[in-house]
Amino acid sequence: MTTVLSTHGLIARYGDFQALYGVDIDVAEGEAVALIGANGAGKSTFLRAIMGLLPVAPDMVRLDGQAIGGTLTDRMVQKGVAIVPEGRRLFTGMSVEDNLRVAVDQADRLGRKGGWSLERLHRLFPILKEKAQTQAQNLSGGQQQMVSIGRALLCQPRVLLCDEISLGLAPKVIREIYAAMPEIRGQGTSVIVVEQDVGLAQSASDRLFCMLEGRVTLSGASDQITREQIAAAYFGGSDAMV
Ligand SMILES: Nc1ncnc2c1ncn2[C@@H]1O[C@H](COP(=O)(O)OP(=O)(O)OP(=O)(O)O)[C@@H](O)[C@H]1O
Q: Which domain holds residue 103?
A: 3-241
42 touches 210 (CB < 8 A): no
Query: For residue 97, how far is its CA from the centre of ligand 1 (angstroms)?
Result: 32
Question: Rounded CA gap, 31 and 38, in Å?
Answer: 23
60 touches 10 (CB < 8 A): yes
Q: Determine the atom of ligand 1 nearest the C-alpha atom of 48.
A: 18
Looking at the 3D structure of the chain, how many domains does it have? 1
> How many angstroms separate the Cα of 146 from the Cα of each of 23, 59, 152, 183?
29, 33, 10, 14
Query: For residue 36, how far is its CA from the centre of ligand 1 (angstroms)?
Result: 14
Ligand 1 pocket test, pick from 10, 21, 43 with the greatest ligand atom count within 8 Å of Cβ, gives 43
The reply to whether the predicted model has a pTM over 0.80 is yes
For residue 27, what is the enclosing H or E element? strand 26-28
Crossing angle of helices 171-178 and 141-153, rounded to 10° = 10
The pLDDT tens digits for 125-170 are 999 999 999 998 999 999 999 999 999 999 999 999 999 988 888 8
CATH number of the domain at 191, please: 3.40.50.300
Q: Percent of the chain at pLDDT above 90?
A: 79
Question: Rounded CA gap, 228 and 134, in Å?
Answer: 45
3-class state of residue 230 by DSSP? helix
The pLDDT tens digits for 2-30 are 999 999 999 999 999 999 999 999 999 99
Query: For residue 200, how far is its CA from the centre of ligand 1 (angstroms)?
Result: 22
